[in-house]
Amino acid sequence: MRSKEEHLLDRIREKFDIDGNIQRKRRIWIKIDKDELLELCGCLKKKGFIHLSAISVTDWPDDNVFEVTYHIWSYDDKILITLKAKLDRENPTIESVTNIWQENAQIHERELHELFGVEFENNTDLEPLFLEDWSGPPPFRKDFNWREYVQDEFYDKENERERVYFY
Partner 1 sequence: MYRMNFTIKKMKGSVFIFINQNNLSQIMKPMESPTLDENYDLYFGPTHPGSGNFGVKLRVDGEKIVSARADPGYLHRGFEKLMEYRTPIQNSVLSDRLCVLEPLNWNLLHAEAVEELMDIEVPERAKYMRVIMAELSRIQSHIIWYGVFSKAIGFDTGFKIAFGYRDYILDLFEMITGGRVYPTGYICPGGVRRDFTEGTERKIIDVLEDLEDMIRMEEVDYPTLLGRTKGIGVLSPKEAIRYGATGPVLRGSGIKKDVRKEEPYEVYDRLDFKIPTRKEGDARARYVIGIEEIRESRWIIKQALDDLSESDFINKDHQKPNVNKEMPKDEVYVRNEVSRGEGAMYMIGDGEKTPYRVKIRGPDFLHMIPLLEHMLEGVEIADVPAVYWSLNVCPADMDR
- Restricting to residues 97-116, name those near partner 1 by CB under 8 A: 101-104, 106-108, 111
Q: What CA–CA distance (Å, rounded) separates 102 from 99?
A: 5
Interface stretch with partner 1, choices 4-12, 33-41, 68-76, 86-94 (CB under 8 A) = 68-76
In the set 38, 80, 126, 165, which binds partner 1 (CB under 8 A)? 80
Spatial CA neighbour of 72 closest among 115, 107, 101: 101
| Amino acid identity at 5 | E
Q: What CA–CA distance (Å, rounded) separates 143 from 106?
A: 26
Q: Binding of partner 1 at residue 56 (CB under 8 A)? A: yes
Q: What CA–CA distance (Å, rounded) separates 31 from 93?
A: 17
Q: Binding of partner 1 at residue 149 (CB under 8 A)? A: no
The secondary element (H helix, E strand) that includes residue 108 is helix 98-116
Q: Binding of partner 1 at residue 5 (CB under 8 A)? A: no
Q: Binding of partner 1 at residue 66 (CB under 8 A)? A: no
Q: Which residues pair with 88 in a beta bridge?
A: 65
Least distance CB 167 / partner 1 (angstroms) = 16
Least distance CB 81 / partner 1 (angstroms) = 10
Q: What CA–CA distance (Å, rounded) separates 141 from 87?
A: 14
DSSP designation for 157: S
Which positions touch partner 1 (CB under 8 A)? 23, 26-27, 29, 50-54, 56, 58-59, 69, 71, 73, 75, 78, 80, 82, 101-104, 106-108, 111, 129-132, 139-140, 146
